[in-house]
Amino acid sequence: MTQLALFDLDHTLLPCDSDYEWGQFLARIGVVDSAYYAKQNERFYQDYKDGKLDIHEFLRFALKPLSEHSRVQLKEWHDQFMQEVINGQLRQKAMDLVKQHQDAGDLCCVVTATNSFVTRPIVESFGIAHLIATEPATALNDPLANYTGEVKGIPNFREGKIQNLHDWLANQNLNLSTLQKSYFYSDSMNDLPLLEKVSHPVATNPDDRLRTEANKRNWPILELFA
């Protein structure tokens, strides 16, 4: 029977937040108004950590730069972002955790609130083929067309992760409730809804609120970056 291993990305497999770092990168290279963007980026990041993020307001902010440039230009910047920021954040312990599940034959997937433009190349660096992320909409629903700045479907955040996961599993003729085992590794209290749905929740490099909850529920706690 199929076993499923789900991984959050930011502060779980990565010791940083790729969404935040992408925003800082754009500010640093002058693509966006550096002072304004850096200030807003900090505000949204703090709201996320505090569990009070307005996901729709944040996505209007985060996806706007994608709509203002061609896909070719965006890819060029993302390649630079990978080289300058992300590659140095790939940790062997995180790689080993993924490989352990892959070697066991588990179906592996990253489930992240960060949009797929930012995260897909990062997920590929871990050798993971499957990604459930917030999807930026494209013009005319053409996946190769320019981005519109809007969201396609449900933002992959909190309860939205559950709905998007169910839809993804259904496309593969699978169901969370009938899987032999399902793991979810996450650092964030924002992921409590999905952690409660899997058979094996693992608080991974957990924030203070999730650490308290994990201890209360006797969930395992994994430190990948200690």
C-alpha 52/C-alpha 67 separation (Å) is 26
C-alpha 172/C-alpha 202 separation (Å) is 24
- Report the amino acid identity of residue 59: L
Closest C-alpha among 176, 34, 184 to residue 109: 184
Residue 156: CB partners within 8 Å, gap ≥ 6? Answer: 111, 112, 113, 132, 133, 134, 135, 164
> CB–CB of 210/186 below 8 Å?
yes
- Computed on alpha carbons and rounded to an integer, the radius of gyration of the chain in Å comes to 17
C-alpha 27/C-alpha 35 separation (Å) is 8
User: Residues with catalytic annotation?
Assistant: 8, 10
- Packing angle, helices 116-125 and 18-28, rounded to 10: 110
